[in-house]
Structure 1
Amino acid sequence: MEYIFRQAKPEDAPQIWTILQQAIQRRKADGSKQWQDGYPNLEVIQSDIDKGYGFVLVVQDKLIGYSAVMQNNEPAYNDIEGQWLTDGDFIVIHRVAIDEQELGKGYARTIMQAIEDHARNTGVYSIKADTNFDNPGMLSIFTKMGYQYCGEVYFRGSARKAFEKVLDK
């Protein structure tokens, strides 16, 4: 499968927001509390894009996925209840979402692989991420892709499962 994984542009914001709204509704339908408190929202997406954190997955000229990708920029990760595998530079993954018409085709894993490639290309060999305890889809992806559970971190008062993957150089 050929794809493009690139930084999001301001004109991508409406499509990204549509994809995230779909994901918010899926989480709600699944009975999850994740993303049910007004976050993420369009302002968060616009901020991601403005700061260079927003990345999109494009397949056959269609934007089908989104993720925020940051380096060394997650203060909540400083207070993990547990222990990270590494202490050096790391990439942070947040807000992974796939267009509902494209679910079940492996695109979330494609985004995760593209982020790993991006990390290696920038000379960073650690990726850290978190998700709610009630998000079986992301928990499964982390397991299948070799992420190790490291403990819990807290966002907006809620505990999240924290994972890290150390990449081969």
Structure 2
Amino acid sequence: MIRLAQMEDLSGIVSIAKRAVTQMNDEGSDQWNDQYPTLKHFATDITNQELYVFVEERIEGFIVINQAFATEYDELTWTDLHKDAITLHRLAVNPDTRNRGVAAALFTYAEHVALERGHTSIKVDTYSLNTKAMRLFNKLGYTNVGKLLTATRSEPFVYYEKTLGQADAVGM
């Protein structure tokens, strides 16, 4: 089941995030660290009703769905305007349940949310060293729209977009 996160979910969310940081770092990506994301980020996401959790017996993953586009998004050429799109942040899956479809289910749910809200696309980015995220985006039908270097990283971020149609909402 996927639902909006509640404040009482914070410990489970932070636990998954910490484990995800360790795994990402072990895989060669320093996209996340001990300063991002933090409990404060997740508490704000919950307060704003933007954080969704995938729950079986416990929280197995989470994703933030909103329209908070980084300023770098304005430097790229997108199919849809930002007002017609949502963006995704802070996706993580419990390392013990990776490769069981949790991330794909969260993305499918995000597509459903986007369509319900009248949006026509989803925009997302990841650090270029996060090869697992890039493989996931490609597998789920997202199109690479470009790369940009930021002042805080030595490698570029990669940006993706998926245009949605009614077929994307099937099965929800």
Deviations along 1:9-28, one digit per CA (max 9) or x if unpaired, are: 01001100001111100011
Give the CA RMSD over aligned residues: 1.6
Aligned partners of 2:33, 2:12: CA distance in 1, in Å? Answer: 20
The residue that corresponds to 2:33 in the other structure is 36
Q: When the two structures are aligned, how many residues end up with a matched partner?
A: 163
The residue that corresponds to 1:84 in the other structure is 78
Contact 1:10 1:49 in 2 (8 A): yes
Q: 1:90 to 1:100 in 2, by over 3 A?
A: same
The residue that corresponds to 1:94 in the other structure is 89
Partner of 2:84, secondary structure, is: coil
Offset at 1:37?
Answer: 5.7
Offset at 1:155?
Answer: 5.9
Give percent identity, aligned residues only: 29
Gaps of 5+ in 1: none
Q: 1:132 to 1:84 in 2, by over 3 A?
A: same
**Is 1:23 the counterpart of 2:20 in the alignment?**
yes
Correspondence 1:38-77 to 2 at 5 A = 38-59=35-56, 61-71=57-67, 73-77=68-72
The residue that corresponds to 2:8 in the other structure is 11
Letter in 2 for 1:149: N
Gaps of 5+ in 2: 167-172
Stretch of structure 1 that moved more, 150-159 or 26-35: 150-159
Deviations along 1:16-58, one digit per CA (max 9) or x if unpaired, are: 0001111100011112121136111111111111111111111
Relative to the length of structure 2, the TM-score reads: 0.88
Aligned partners of 2:73, 2:90: CA distance in 1, in Å? Answer: 19
4+ long deviations beyond 4 Å: 153-156
Relative to the length of structure 1, the TM-score reads: 0.89
